[in-house]
Amino acid sequence: MGFVSRGLFFLLAIFVLILSTPCSCGFGKTHKNVKSAVFLSPKFEIGPGSVVNRFFYGIDFPKGHIAIKSFYAEVVDEAGKSVPLHETYMHHWVVARYYRPKHQSHRNHSDIFVSRNSGVCQTKINGQYFGLGSETRGTATDIPDPFGIVVGNPAEVPEGYEEKWFFNIHAIDTRGVVDKRGCTECWCDLYNVTKDEYGNPLKSDYKGGLLCCYDYTQCKLREGFEGPKRSLYLRYTLKWVDWDKFIVPLKVYIIDSTDTFRKSKFPEHDCQVEYQVEPCITGDKDGNGCVDVKRATIPMKNGGYVIYGVAHQHKGGNGATLYGQDGRVICSSRPRYGKGKEAGNEAGYIVGMSTCYPQPGSVKIMDGETVTIESNYSNNPGHTGVMGLVYLLVAEQLPRQHFRHSSRSSFYMNVNSLSD
Ligand SMILES: *[C@@H]1O[C@H](CO)[C@@H](O)[C@H](O)[C@H]1NC(C)=O
Ligand SMILES: *[C@@H]1O[C@H](CO)[C@@H](O)[C@H](O)[C@H]1NC(C)=O
Ligand SMILES: *[C@@H]1O[C@H](CO)[C@@H](O)[C@H](O)[C@H]1NC(C)=O
């Protein structure tokens, strides 16, 4: 199908496809009525070396009381063609839920409030439901049956409000720049930035990161380089099922390796989102492989059964693991680096993260358990503005009577009897 125009594309998106082939995403029986739709974000224009870090409110999203089964997204151009990371680097896209007064004018977002995920960072940090970075094309997001992320429940929406969704899209165009790695790691000198976006001077030891590549900043171009501005979109595909009582809801947690949790009178999280990896000074002489290890230890007020897990890292990352209090592995996720030129396989970029799909019931976080996240990066060379997150989907209950005998066959039995 050729890409025609945004309007036609939306028309197509409105015709929700009822998938006749069940998704190959799990175990047990697949849900019969998985719906799927493709949407486009609002258009953003990006020139060589420039940055888009923008918020788009009220994005297209399936209506009604539903359970999300997957969320895929990638950057495309006006012809609908996938744009490779070495041209437009996808730093991150995140999708968050908010409530807006009904009949609100759209221009001013002062009276909306974000309905964040289940934690665990402080109020305004890492509250999204969905989101990935450069790995977006190669990372599985399917949620096995009978689980789902339940949204659009009218009973949860405060009186007089409606549920909406926004995107934050952070993309960096690196066509013609002097140093692609430096621009994607947001080195402040390449952006000629010494103050943050609100005019506050940056600390002298802040060499790079989000504070230096905010919306409309410009990374340094090679002398004389000229290239066209482009109009791009985030094209996203959602799969969902209508709510029914057999769906088991999942909670979204994001654990951040920069969280300096403090046990004071009131437990306080302090997630920094990003951090700096100092270069390996010794070369590899001491045989530690020049690995930077970032750890944070965090109590989980509420636990549950882990159904899905995935880490988010930047270039240089070589894996992140979440451990339980007794040292068992809850989820370990590793990056895959591309080897070619084409979108989805760009050499030197993280093009996918491995995911965790434990047999439901087999991996449980206890209420009040302290978990440890470990994020490893190669520190030869060092890096700025890196991240080490683990995103978890957790079920507080398993499907009816399940796992009394915690055997796989009893699970199949239950699922089969549910879906027929
Ligand atoms: C938004 O509207 C409120 C109430 O009308 C007003 O107080 C506030 O200054 C406005 N904010 C912006 C950014 O325009
Ligand atoms: C860098 O920023 C300073 C002040 O903010 C400005 O005077 C200077 O021209 C800029 N340099 C370049 C190369 O844009
Ligand atoms: C991180 O590196 C340390 C030290 O090399 C190693 O013991 C640990 O297993 C690594 N963890 C991950 C998640 O790769």
> For the domain with range 250-419, which CATH number is right: 3.20.20.70, 3.40.50.1370, 3.50.70.10, 2.60.120.230?
2.60.120.230
Q: Is the CB of 372 under 6 A from ligand 3?
A: no
- Element containing residue 69 per DSSP (H, E): strand 66-77
On whether the CB atoms of residues 376 and 318 are closer than 8 A, the answer is yes
Query: Which burial class, exposed, middle or buried, applies to 68 when counting CB atoms under 10 A from its CB (0-12, 13-18, 19+)?
Result: buried
List residues bridging with 333 in a β-sheet: 320
Q: Which of 8-17, 175-184, 288-297, 350-359 has the lowest mean pLDDT?
A: 8-17
pTM of the model: 0.86
pLDDT tens track for 187-219: 999 999 999 999 999 999 999 999 999 999 999
Q: 122: pLDDT confidence band, cut at 50, 70 and 90?
A: confident
Residues with CB under 6 A from ligand 1: 108, 110
By most ligand atoms within 8 Å of CB, the mutation choice from 284, 293, 333 for ligand 3 is 293
By most ligand atoms within 8 Å of CB, the mutation choice from 108, 109, 111, 113 for ligand 1 is 108
Measure 123 CA to ligand 3 centroid, in angstroms: 30
Give the number of whichever ligand sits closest to the CA of residue 334: 3
pLDDT at 286: 55
Q: Which residue has the tokens 């069940």?
A: 22
Measure 202 CA to ligand 2 centroid, in angstroms: 16
Share the mean pLDDT of the chain: 87
Q: 268: pLDDT confidence band, cut at 50, 70 and 90?
A: confident
pLDDT at 106: 60
Q: Which residues contact 30 (CB under 8 A, 6 or more apart)?
A: 22, 23, 145
What are the extents of the domains in the chain? Answer: 13-242, 250-419
On whether the CB atoms of residues 144 and 357 are closer than 8 A, the answer is yes
pLDDT tens track for 363-391: 999 999 999 999 999 998 999 999 999 99
Integer Cα distance of 379 and 371 in angstroms: 25
**pLDDT value at 174 more than 80:** yes
